[in-house]
Amino acid sequence: MDSQNLRELIRKYLSERPRNTIEISVWLASQIDSVNSPSDITRILESDDQIARIGTVRKSGMRRSESPVSEWASSSWVEHHERKGSEHNKER
């Protein structure tokens, strides 16, 4: 699968809610016959302007998670939740 199709598949997955790199990697492996490492996935996500890194998590269900794992969301998810947050802050 080429990187453009892979990006589109990941964008659809992220439209539901944010996911971390490990979740995305495991989900992709269940969807397509692909051997993409988390670092490959990270490179794809970083190069997509419709996907945003929104933070990091230390606990991701991995046994050895000494280093943080990035959490990702679609730009539309971020925009929607920023809008809800700003409306909530205005009410205060």
List pLDDT tens digits, range 8-38: 999 999 998 999 998 998 899 898 876 677 8
Give the Cα separation of 37 and 29 in Å (integer): 10
83 class by beta-carbon count within 10 Å (0-12 exposed, 13-18 middle, 19+ buried)? exposed
**Whole-structure pTM over 0.85, yes or no?**
no
> Pairing mode, if any, of strands 69-74 and 51-57?
antiparallel
DSSP annotation of 64 reads -
